[in-house]
Amino acid sequence: MELKATSLGKRLAQHPYDRAVMLNAGIKVAGDRHEYLIPFNQLLAIECKRGLVWGELEFLLADDKVVRLHGTEWSETQRFYHQLSERWKAWSEEMSEVAASVLSEQLAQIAGRTDTQKWLTRNQLNGLQQQLQHAFAALPLPTRRLPEFENCRELWQQCQAWLHDAQERRDAHNQAYTEAMLTQYAAFFDQIESSPLNPAQARAVVNGEHALLVLAGAGSGKTSVLVARAGWLLARGEAAADQILLLAFGRKAAQEMDERICERLHTEEITARTFHALALYIIQQGSKKAPVISELESNTAARHALLTEAWREQCSEKKAQAKGWRQWLEEEMSWNVPEGNFWQDEKLQRRIAPRLDRWIGLMRMHGGAQADMIASAPEEVRELFGKRIKLMSPLLKAWKTALKTENAVDFSGLIHQAINVLEKGRFISPWKHILVDEFQDISPQRAALLAALRKQNSQTTLFAVGDDWQAIYRFSGAQLSLTTAFQDYFGEGDLCALDTTYRFNTRIGEVANRFIQQNPWQLAKPLNSLTKGDKNAVTLLPQEHLDALLDKLSGYATPEDRILVLARYHHARPESLAKAATRWPKLQLDFMTIHASKGQQAEYVIVLGLQDGADGFPAPARESIMEQALLPQPEAFPDAEERRLLYVALTRARKRVWLLFDKEKPSAFVESLKALNVPVTRKP
């Protein structure tokens, strides 16, 4: 059937289209120069309008384009419109059955993928949404028309909810799953550790996200969560023991984890590894030969001797390099360098040896070509850093030669080799689940090893437990943003927090939590205490009263009460402790640096050295160009890592903390603590 504009209508309308032809499943409008084909699957609406004389048909298309036909005789227009509408309606009803079938199938698949016995991950949700989008693109009707049809309306609304309210639906699903698991496995969570897991711990354990960061504040039971996670995977049949990889940063921590797993899970098949032990295993399996770790790694004196000898040789043989070293040490390091052959000076050799050791270590940890090191350095230090690298180059060469002679590798080389083995596919990861302790201490190099493992199997989960409030190892290469921007580095996932500490009281928690969160870049989290403490649980005390404080403690502390005396530096050990064995023989006193105290706890903690100056706390920034270029960039917030260090010191205590400060040169932290209503006492 065809509809044409009248001769007069055509002339007066001056429109590109003057006739319409009804097709099997569409409509064609045409003119002398233009033609437009409108299939029914692109048609949203047809309107028939009457003008002063002639009729008008208006076709609304799915892309919101409107096509009009003017100047047709009115009765003919009406007849054409009714026949076209009937044909379009019949076609639409038929297609709505097809659309309803497609939508029903999609909802059935969604129901299958949202089993109440399984966690719905963000990645799965994204896949589900993509599947819906593909299905919608294949529908025979424009999606905007689906609400018109009773057989499609509700199905369409349900599908749309998975697109527009997806996160709410995912949260609701996972909440229901979690509650079901906590009920179904209540006995497991009650018995897996010596004390039942609290709700926050149990929720972290059952979280099925592919990348999960568990923020575990001081004393919140992170080890319990790691052990329970491994036990949960076994109990649920989600992994065999040899498919679980548990990583710790130190050998001692790994051994303690092994003992805990053996005790609680009654298995020796799951063993905790350090990153270096993991790298060694990967290389052994991938190359069928066991690398030897250089003896230099465990012999500080030998490392220093090797590097100072190479340094002396370099300075004695090349005047330009000797001049460069003098300039470096005098101008940047502000050292007094002897005249003449300064490299022969034994005192200077002893002083520079640990510096050379550290700088070579940073270069080895960075890896790659020296040109890449220079290119990746911050722009403001790049030129000077390039000069420093040229001076360090002979020492790096001497280090590599020593390794080659020994037919051995250093620790940094071990991880670089392991990544290379993985990337070349010479070792295929058997691990479905990777659990990492103390995640806040991770470095880019170790993160690259994790990434290489997970790249081999996109389904590998990462369960990371750590606390950005206790990140205190930037000097050894740890990069805090790997924790605070976790999802940027390790993919879409979840973040949850353990909200209860079993160590310190409410007052210590209040001071420590508020102090650390004065830095807005630290991740906010709740950390509640089970016991109350009075306002004197944290006290500022002038440092000259240390002996008086120990005298007072000797009056009420029991022999079982541990007392930690903490300082920023080894050399800050107080002279008072030399007489402790005889003056306070019943006190259990332990002195250590705050860094060494990480993971420790005691009834009472005494923090020394809250003073300003070169040996102060917070420690003044004194990094060389080498550290500035090769370590992760520091945060913009003043003394951010030093603030975390004091947080670690505060949270070692169960009952009380005394913060000893210099009245003449008080630390900048003293004012911050006073602002938190920490009392200052004249005497203990």
Task: Report pLDDT digits (tens) over 209-230.
Answer: 999 999 999 999 999 999 999 9
In the chain, the amino acid numbered 83 is Q
Torsion of CA 605, 213, 618, 337, to 10 degrees: 120
Task: Report pLDDT digits (tens) over 543-570.
Answer: 999 999 999 999 999 999 999 999 999 9
- Return d(Cα 28, Cα 26) in angstroms, integer: 7
Provide, rounded to the nearest whole percent, the portion of the chain with pLDDT above 70: 99
7-11, 26-30, 354-358, 587-591: least confidently modelled range: 7-11
CB 149 within 8 A of CB 96: yes
CB 464 within 8 A of CB 433: no
CA nearest neighbour of 57 among 26, 82, 34, 37: 82
pLDDT at site 6:
82
- Return d(Cα 606, Cα 410) in angstroms, integer: 38
Confidence of residue 12 (pLDDT cuts 50, 70, 90): low
CB 181 within 8 A of CB 199: no
pLDDT at site 619:
94
Alpha helices in 407-440 (DSSP H): 411-423
Confidence of residue 11 (pLDDT cuts 50, 70, 90): low
